[in-house]
Amino acid sequence: MTGGDRQVFNNRTINKNAAPLNGDRARIQGEDTRKVKAPDFAYERPESLDQVFDLLERHGDEARILAGGQSLLATLNMRLSSPGLLVDIGRVPGLAGVARAGQTIRIGAMTRHCDLAAAPPVQAHLPLLARAVPHIAHPAIRNRGTIGGSVALADPAAELPACCLAMGATMVLASRGGERRVAAADFFQGLFRTVLEPHELLAAIEVPVPPAGSVAGFDELARRHGDYAIVGLAAQGVPAGAGWQGLALAFFGADDRPVLATAAAAVLAEGGGIAAAQAALDRDLDPPGDLNGDPATKRHLARVLLGRVVGAMAEGR
């Protein structure tokens, strides 16, 4: 599934036109210049998963899934992407909604951000998501954008992929042959890359109900409200004396994918304290620079966020 929440045109993609200065002649095609009217494509609006799989199997790489469209349509308008076919899954039944089944909360991929934060199971059990959603772009985007789109796009600076990582979520990938389940930690493969195969659809995200006593922490540093964060942290764990149980620290905006800071989490788990965890963070993160900050700035801000978020969690805030 593609799509997502915001724009993907910062320096990760902006330099499409930049060519190294080689002093030689170059032949440029006009298509190398960016525009704002989408290229031509075909469109299908299947009404069942079977129809989705038909289309995906028939068109392979040429087909793109249209979920909330809040990133995909922008990339199409800018001609950064030119799929042959859009498969609009907006009217496939059963893909939206949040429900609890035993110790698992299943979030349909087409659940829109605005509905996600308000869903009773999320309110009751997944405070991390409830806290994260208001940071995603702006209300009009949250009215359309979906969790599945965001997760499948795998923007490393997005909130929800990191939340999935912190919550130990499982991605449910559906295809003609049935479903396979992939842990969030294995799902994200790099910049806009996941383990999704062209014939597969991200159908749902399954999140374990956190154990009793679990607390969530979330914060991000964005230049402007709703912007992608310079760096952000989604965290969840159970306080245990001076330490933590099952503490997960998922940073976003700090690498080519959301990253679990395992070294820092281990220090905290053993009651090592925030300063030691901040020091350990250097082993977890090796952020590339971008327009928002160079590697040193990102590393520094990640340490600051770690202190703030874990500090607040420890105080029960």
Partner 1 sequence: MSADETGLTFLDRPNSYIGRSVPRPNARRLLQGRGIYVDDLKLPRMAHVAFLRSPYPHARIRGIDTAAAKAAPGVFAVVTGAEMARVCTPWVGVLGHFKGLKSAPQYPLAIDRACWAGEAICAVVAASRAEAEDAVALLAADLEELPAAVEMERALDPDETVIHPDLGDNLAFERLLDVGEVDAAFRDAAVVVEETFQVGRHTGVCLEPRAILADWDAGEEKLTVHHSFQAPHMMQDILCKHLGLPEASVRVVCKDVGGSFGIKVHIYPDEMATVALSLMLKRPVKFVADRLESFTSDIHARDHRVKGRMAFAADGTILAAEIDDLTGIGPYSVYPRTSAVEANQVVNLVGGPYRHRNYRARARVVFQNKTPMCQYRAVGHPIAVMVTEGLVDLGAARLDIDPVEIRRRNVIPDDAHPSTAASGIRFEQLSHQAALARLVEMMDYPALRAEQAALRARGIHRGIGLATFVEITNPSAAFYGVGGARISSQDGCTLRLNPQGGVVAAIGVTEQGQGTEAIVAQVVATAVGVPMEQVRVVTGDTDATPYGGGTWASRGAGIGGEAAWQAGKALRQNVLVVAGAILQADPASLDLRGGRVVDAATGTERMPLAELGRIAYFRPDTLPPGLQPEFVVTRHYVPKDYPFAFTNGVQAAWVEVDPDTGFVRLLRHWCVEDCGTVLNPQLVDEQIRGGIVQGIGAALFEECRYDRTGQFLNATMADYLVPMAAEMPDIAVAHVVSPTLSSEIGAKGAGEAGTAGAPAAVINAINDALRPLGARVTSQPASPEVILRALGRV
Partner 2 sequence: MDGASMDRVRDVTLWVNGERVSRRVAVRTHLVDFLRVELELTGSHLGCEQGVCGACTVRVDGVAVRGCLMLAVQADGARVETIEGLSDSGAIADLQAAFHARNALQCGYCTPGMLVSAAELLAANPAPTRDEIRAHISGNYCRCTGYHAIVDAIETTAAARRGEGGAA
> From the centroid of its chain, how far is CA 50?
26
* By CB under 8 A, residue 140 contacts partner 1: no
Q: Cβ(205)–Cβ(162) under 8 Å? A: no
Q: Cβ(160)–Cβ(141) under 8 Å? A: no
* Residue 131, token pair as written in the block: 């806290």
In angstroms, the first-to-last Cα distance of the chain is: 35
* By CB under 8 A, residue 39 contacts partner 1: yes
70 binds, among partner 2, partner 1, none (CB under 5 to 8 A by kind): partner 2
C-alpha 106/C-alpha 34 separation (Å) is 39
29 binds, among partner 1, partner 2, none (CB under 5 to 8 A by kind): partner 1
* By CB under 8 A, residue 297 contacts partner 1: yes
Least distance in angstroms from the C-beta of 228 to partner 2: 11
Binds partner 2 by CB under 8 A, chosen from 67, 78, 96, 313: 78
**Cβ closest to partner 2, residue 3 vs residue 287:** 3
Distances (CA, A) of 135 to 107, 224, 240: 19, 10, 29
Binding residues for partner 1 restricted to 212-231, rule: CB under 8 A: 221, 223-227, 230
* By CB under 8 A, residue 190 contacts partner 2: no
304 binds, among partner 2, partner 1, none (CB under 5 to 8 A by kind): partner 1
Bridge partners of 231, per DSSP, are 221
* By CB under 8 A, residue 134 contacts partner 1: no
2 binds, among partner 2, partner 1, none (CB under 5 to 8 A by kind): none
By CB under 8 A, how many residues form the interface with partner 2?
38
What single string gives the DSSP state of each residue in 147-184?
A: HHHHHHHT-TT-HHHHHHHHHT-EEEEEETTEEEEEEH
Binds partner 1 by CB under 8 A, chosen from 276, 304, 312, 314: 304
How many Cβ atoms sit within 10 Å of the Cβ of residue 63? 23
* By CB under 8 A, residue 11 contacts partner 1: yes
C-alpha 145/C-alpha 123 separation (Å) is 19
C-alpha 313/C-alpha 317 separation (Å) is 6
* By CB under 8 A, residue 23 contacts partner 2: no
Q: SS3 letters for 188-220?
A: EEECCEECCCCCCEEEEEEEECCCCCCEEEEEE
300 binds, among partner 1, partner 2, none (CB under 5 to 8 A by kind): partner 1
* By CB under 8 A, residue 178 contacts partner 1: no
Distances (CA, A) of 163 to 38, 151, 181: 32, 10, 17
256 binds, among partner 1, partner 2, none (CB under 5 to 8 A by kind): none
* By CB under 8 A, residue 15 contacts partner 2: no
Least distance in angstroms from the C-beta of 133 to partner 2: 13
C-alpha 205/C-alpha 174 separation (Å) is 11
* By CB under 8 A, residue 74 contacts partner 2: yes
Binds partner 2 by CB under 8 A, chosen from 100, 114, 127, 256: 114
| Footprint on this chain of partner 1 (rule: CB under 8 A) | 6-7, 9-11, 14-15, 17-40, 78-79, 221, 223-227, 230, 291-294, 296-297, 299-301, 304
